[in-house]
Amino acid sequence: MTTEAYANLRELADESCLGNNYVLTVLLENMDTIIDRDAFRRAVEDLIETHRKPD
C-alpha cells in the first residue's frame, strides 16, 4: 500500500470511527455506487505505469 493510500484509508477510518478493515469492507461492498469504473481502470493503469520496474 502506498503512503498516500494508507493516509486516505486512515482519514476515512478516523472520520467514520471504524477500523481500516471495516472501511475497506464498506468501500468494496459498495463499489458500484461509490466509484466510476472507467476512472478506476485509468487509475489502475496509472499506478501500474508509475510503479512498473524497468525491463
**pTM of this prediction?**
0.72
CB under 8 Å to 23, separation ≥6 — which residues?
9, 12, 13, 16
Q: How many domains does the chain have?
A: 1
Distance, CA of 50 to CA of 21 (rounded, Å): 26
pLDDT, tens digit, 9 for 90 and up, residues 2-24: 899 999 999 999 999 999 999 99
Count Cβ atoms below 10 Å from residue 12 Cβ, excluding itself.
16
| Cβ atoms of residues 27 and 34 within 8 Å | yes
Asked if residues 32 and 22 have their Cβ atoms less than 8 Å apart, the reply is no
Mean pLDDT of the chain: 93
Residue span of the structural domain in which 34 resides:
3-51
**For residue 50, which amino acid is it?**
T
**Is residue 50 over pLDDT 80?**
yes
